[in-house]
Every structure is written in structure tokens, then in C-alpha cells.
Amino acid sequence: MHKVDFWDVVPYLLPVISYLIGQSRNKLRVPKQVQKLLDNQQVIQVIAKGIETAQAMKDRTDEQKREYVRAWAKSELYGVLGQWLPDSAVNFLIEHAIVKRSGS
């Protein structure tokens, strides 16, 4: 029977260990309040509508489109959710919607 040395196995274990560490670090930790917004279909639809409108604006730069989506989404979400929504949450929702659209 062949005896297996630890150093013979290490090259096979390192990718598995690296993968497991990466998986645990890559888990998206979202605050509970923002997770509720991500689960709210009405909020996601508002964000998606703003992104679609901005993409149709051919005469504007990407930065102008981003500013438009931010301002539009913020005003629409204030109507749906009230004035408590911080800018960082609006930005996160927009980025999430863009990533989700490009992934599908």
C-alpha cells in the first residue's frame, strides 16, 4: 500500500480551501432595511423603470444618466416609501438593479 505524504496532497487541497474562503468572504452582507427594499417588487420596478429611461437617452453621457436615475428613483421612492430613504440606499438599489440586469 502506498503511503500518502501531506505535501503530496497540499496542491489538491489549496484550491478547495481557497474556494471555501472566497465563498465565505463574497457573501453579500446587506442591512436588513435594504434587504426589505430588495424584496419589495414595487421598489425594484421603480428602479428598473428609471434605468430603462436613462438607457434610452442617447444624447447624454453616462454620468448624466446616472444622475438622472438617482434623482428620479429618489423622488419616486420617496412617494412609495416616505422621506426616510438615504442616498446610499438609493445608490445601492440602483447598482443592484444594474448588476442583476446585466447578469440575466
CB 53 within 8 A of CB 72: yes
Per residue in 44-73, pLDDT tens?
Answer: 888 888 888 888 888 888 888 888 888 888
What DSSP character marks residue 60? S
Indicate the pTM of the whole model. 0.59
| Percent of the chain residues past pLDDT 70, beyond the cut | 88
CB 75 within 8 A of CB 37: no
Residue ranges of the domains in the chain?
32-103
